[in-house]
Structure 1
Amino acid sequence: MKPISMLFIAICLSTNAYAQTDSAIKIQKKMKLNAGIITTKLAASKAFYTDVLGFGVTFENDFYLLLHTPGRTSEISFLLPDHPSQQALFHKPFQGQGMYLTIEVEDVDEIYQEIRNKGIDIKIALRDEPWGDRHFAIEDPNGVGIDIVKYSPDNK
């Protein structure tokens, strides 16, 4: 193969690789995660997340509830099972196992005390982990474990 042909192929390949990398970066910048739980416990979920964790209501109707964290950096939604407005994929209710949420906070000790003062059952007591994180865990009305953590700066 002639050197000019090899150079042309190398340029094309590197341009294509750059385009794929650039495309992936653009997609990532536009991504936002909203976890959703299909449950009959809309009212209990709303009360728990707003009263215990200080979430706000973004949107609510008779079959769907969208809540946001303080500062509106994240959202979680709740959907009634078997609702006729939804496709079959979103009909089956969550069975209360195999899911957890992590909420990162600045002062885990303060949040721990506030939640204890509200009489919420602490599932994992406040503790320091060998890797540096400090955290505790509670459970929402749907059986979802919620790990409330202050990450160690060295492990983030």
Structure 2
Amino acid sequence: MQITTTTLSFTVDDVAASQKFLTAHLGYVEQAAADGFASLTRPDAAADIVLLARGTEVLPPEQRDRRASGTILAFTLTGIEAEERRLREEGVAITMPLREEPWGERLFQVTDPNGLVIQFVEWATEQS
């Protein structure tokens, strides 16, 4: 098996709201879209994202009414302070402020209009 890309699929109530949030604030671009569906990508190593409207019949019946819940979409990056500042300046609510965990993980979170939690992570470097 050779994996060529990773795609995360989220079932949401309002596809357009999540699509707008991800394209306006996180640099995603639309690959394809239709009523109740959007496929988004970025030119870097981030995972592609598919958004499906809750209740859509393309999903198996047991999955149709589920929401993106209990899932954290996490991106590892560099320059986390600048990224948090940029998002704040764009009016994005920071739902978990920047903090550093004892094991060296620096992180903050935002939440999209459908409740999808997006976490940004940077590993702290050792001070010399």
Band the TM-score falls in, shorter-chain normalisation? 0.7 to 0.9
Unaligned runs of 5+ in 1: 1-26
Give me the whole-angstrom Cα distance separating, in 2, the residues matched to 1:122 and 1:82.
29
RMSD over equivalenced CA pairs, Å: 2.1
Displacement after TM superposition at 1:30 (Å): 2.4
Q: Report what 2:103 is aligned to.
A: 131
Distance 1:84 1:72, change over 3 A: same
Sequence identity (%): 25
**Structure 2-normalised TM-score?**
0.84
CA contact (8 A) 1:54 1:70 kept: no
TM-score (norm 1): 0.71
Q: Distance in 2 between matches of 1:116 and 1:84?
A: 37
1:43 to 2:9 alignment? no
Verify the 8 A CA contact 1:36 1:77 in the aligned structure 2.
yes
Say which is worse superposed, 80-89 or 118-127, in terms of deviation: 80-89
Query: In the TM superposition, what is the alpha-carbon distance from 1:87 to its structure 2 partner?
Result: 3.1
**CA radius of gyration, larger in:** 1
User: What residue number does 1:5 align with?
Assistant: none
Q: How many residues align?
A: 126
Opposite residue 125 of structure 1, the aligned amino acid is P
Give the alignment of 1:54-73 within 5 angstroms. Answer: 54-71=27-44, 73=46
Shift of 1:31: 6.5
- Which has the larger share of strand? 2
After the TM superposition, list the runs of 4 or more consecutive aligned residues in structure 1 that deviate by more than 6 angstroms.
Answer: none
| Residue segments in structure 2 that go unaligned for 5+ positions in a row | none
